[in-house]
Amino acid sequence: MHIRNESRRYDEHVTPSPEALARIRALLERRMSPEEFRAALAVPLGEDEEEESRSLIRWFRRRYPTPAERLAYASRAYRRWLAAAPAAVRS
């Protein structure tokens, strides 16, 4: 987990507490009911959020123009996430 504040460098790792890890695990493993899922999908994006999303998608598609490049990026990003995730979250 990265924390950015005046007393720490951005790239320094901070080990989350066991309580924080338990909460993260619970959120990761939580299963939404179909009703909850439909309700979440029904909430429209705000104008700013929609434009930001479109901007990020345009950038990503320029940076990774082919499906193969996009999948390769996703694979690399997932490996980085797994390597950086605390063991309690990975297991």
> Which of the two residues, 11 and 19, has the higher pLDDT score?
19
How far lies 73's CA from each of 60, 66, 69, in Å? 10, 11, 6
Number of domains in the chain: 1
Residue 73 banded pLDDT, cuts 50, 70, 90:
very high
In a domain, 61, yes or no: yes
Domain holding 48, by residue range, is 18-90
In a domain, 67, yes or no: yes
> Residue 21: which of 1, 41, 43 has the closest Cα?
1
With 60 as the cut, is the pLDDT of residue 3 above it?
A: no
pTM of the model: 0.53
User: Which pLDDT tens digit goes with each residue over 26-39?
Assistant: 998 899 999 999 99
With 60 as the cut, is the pLDDT of residue 52 above it?
A: yes
With 50 as the cut, is the pLDDT of residue 11 above it?
A: yes
